[in-house]
Amino acid sequence: MRALLDASLESINEVLLGKKYQVRLALACLIAGGHLLIEDLPGMGKTTLSQTLARVLGLSFQRIQFTSDLLPSDILGTSVFDKDSGHFEFHQGPIFAELVLADEINRATPKSQSALLEAMEEGQVTIEGATRPLPSPFFVIATQNPSHHSGTFALPESQLDRFLMRLSLGYPAHAAEKALLMGEARRELLPRLPAVFDHAQLQAVQAEVRAVRVTDALVDYVLRLVEATRNQPQFAWGLSPRGSLALVAAARAWALLAGRTYVIPEDVQAVLPAVASHRLRERADTAGQGGAALVQWLLHEVPVL
């Protein structure tokens, strides 16, 4: 199993150059069973990352381009009258895939956003009175432009909370960008990538993540972190219990990727920026961009031992 994880990391890193930390986080997010939000400027490789992940994990892939005129039925599907049978027949929308890429999610209206987000939480969709299960596994990777870009509807906090992690890829390093320019087009590499996992193996990995050991001492550290977000004055609000569960789940996945069967505080610290920064807001900062600074404060000040 370890070999599979290493191989998949290697494959993704071949496509996405110089982003080992983000790639590892993204993989950890998916094997922990969480949804991923990638926030970055256009053209930074958000789509490439999600396509590569789908490919490597052997998942069926659908991409929904969110625009301001997107309707919920464009995501979920709709019933169409079939005049041969005389019945309405349901046509599945793009959400019925194992990995859904919701591209530029914050360009759609809140109504369409919530259609997707409800599906993410429930694992099923209800259309015209009928509840239809989504495939399993089911992952959503959403991308968004930084919210101060024009023509965006920022995701409210309640919906941000449903993403296990939020990543931003950032500009590539000098050497990586050079290799990118010299090498083949990344999109062309994709079809040639072999799938590393099949469904059974993916399920096994997810089960293994859940079996990673978390001791009292570690939970105490997580609790100290969470309590700090709730008690310290600079935090506008604290982490929710869903947030602390997400933190432990992500730390478990990170530990497994590091080849350990137990979580150490450094695992928690590695995933904390991705897990917590979109769930926190500085009291002094009404625009809601300042979670990263708070997370740095947590990493420095909350005692590990």
Partner 1 sequence: MNVPRAGLTWLLIGQALLLVPLWWQLPPWLLLFWLVCSAWRIQVYRMRARVPGRGLRTAMVVLAAVAVFFSSGRSFGLETAAALVVAAFLLKLLELNTRRDAWVLLLLGLFCQVVAYLFDASLPWALYSVLPLAALLAAMVGLQGGQGERLGPPLRRAAGLLLQAVPLALLLFVCFPRIAPLWSLPLNSGQARTGLADVVAPGDIATLAQSPELAFRVSFDGPPPARRQLYWRAFTLERFDGRRWQQGGLSRFQAVQPWQPVGEPWRYRVIQEPTDKPWLFALDVARSTAPDVQQTQDYRLQRRRPVDQPLYYSVESWPQVVRDPQLAPALRQQNLQLPATGDPRMRAWASDMARRYPESEALVAAMLQRYHEQDYHYSLRPATLGSDSIDGFFFDTRRGFCAHFAGAMTFALRAAGIPARMVVGYQGGELNPAGNYFTVRQYDAHAWVEYWRQGQGWRSVDPTFAVAPQRIDQGLAEALGADEPFLQGSPFSMLRYRDLAWLNTLRLGWENLNYGWERWVLGYQQAQQSELLLRWFKGWAIWVLPTAGTLTVLLLGLAVLRPWRRQVDRVLRQFLRFERLLGWHGLTRAPGEGPHAFAERAAQQLPGSAQAIHTFAQAYTRQRYAGEAAAPATLAVQLNDVRRSLAGRTGPQRKPLP
Question: For partner 1, which is the closer residue by CB, 126 or 215?
Answer: 215
Tokens of residue 41, six digits: 């400027």
Does 301 interact with partner 1 (rule: CB under 8 A)? yes
State the burial class of residue 97 (Cβ atoms within 10 Å of its Cβ: 0-12, 13-18, 19+).
buried
| Site for partner 1 contains 266 (CB under 8 A) | yes
Kindly state whether residue 213 participates in binding partner 1, applying the rule CB under 8 A: yes
CA atoms of 162 and 160, how far apart (whole Å):
5
The reply to whether 44 sits near partner 1 by the rule CB under 8 A is no
User: If residue 38 lies in a helix (H) or strand (E), which one and from where to where?
Assistant: strand 36-39
d(CA 232, CA 262): 29
Q: CB-wise, 126 or 261, nearer to partner 1?
A: 261
Angle of the 241-257 helix axis to the 20-31 helix axis, nearest 10: 120
Instruction: Kindly tell me which residue out of 262, 283, 286, 287 binds partner 1, with binding defined by CB under 8 A.
Output: 262
Total of chain residues touching partner 1, rule CB under 8 A: 20
Amino acid symbol at 131:
T
Residue selected from 43, 194, 241, 303 as contacting partner 1 according to rule CB under 8 A: 303
Is residue 184 at the binding interface for partner 1, with CB under 8 A as the rule?
A: no
> With binding defined as CB under 8 A, does residue 21 bind partner 1?
no
Q: Which of 8, 62, 269, 277 binds partner 1 (CB under 8 A)?
A: 269
Using the minimum distance from each CB to partner 1, give the nearer residue, 194 or 303: 303
Is 304 a binding residue for partner 1 by CB under 8 A? The answer is yes
Minimum CB distance to partner 1 smaller for 83 or for 300: 300
Distance in angstroms (rounded) separating the CA atoms of residues 209 and 227: 25
Tokens of 295: 């997370």
At residue 302, φ and ψ (nearest 5 deg) are -75, 125
Q: Which residue has the tokens 């740095």?
A: 296
Question: Is residue 286 involved in binding partner 1 (CB under 8 A)?
Answer: no
- The DSSP call for residue 101 is E
Distance of closest approach, residue 254 Cβ to partner 1, in angstroms: 13
Which residue, 56 or 298, is less far from partner 1 as judged by CB? 298
Q: Do the beta carbons of residue 169 and residue 23 sit within 8 Å?
A: no
Q: Which residues lie near partner 1 (CB under 8 A)? A: 213, 215, 217-218, 260-266, 269, 298-305
